[in-house]
Structure 1
Amino acid sequence: MNPAQPSPTTDSHSTRQLSNALTQVDHLVQQGCAEISAIAQLALAWLETPKGHRHLDVVARALQSIRDSADTLADYAGTEAQTMGCGSAMARTSWPGLC
Structure 2
Amino acid sequence: MLRKRKLPMRMCLGCRESKAKRELIRVVRTPEGEIELDFTGKKAGRGAYICPSADCLKKAIKGKGLAKSLESPIPEHIIATLKEQLDKE
Above 0.5 in TM-score? no
Higher strand share: 2
TM-score calculated relative to the size of structure 1: 0.24
Higher helix share: 1
Larger Rg: 1
Higher relative contact order (CA 8 A, sep 6+): 1
TM-score calculated relative to the size of structure 2: 0.26
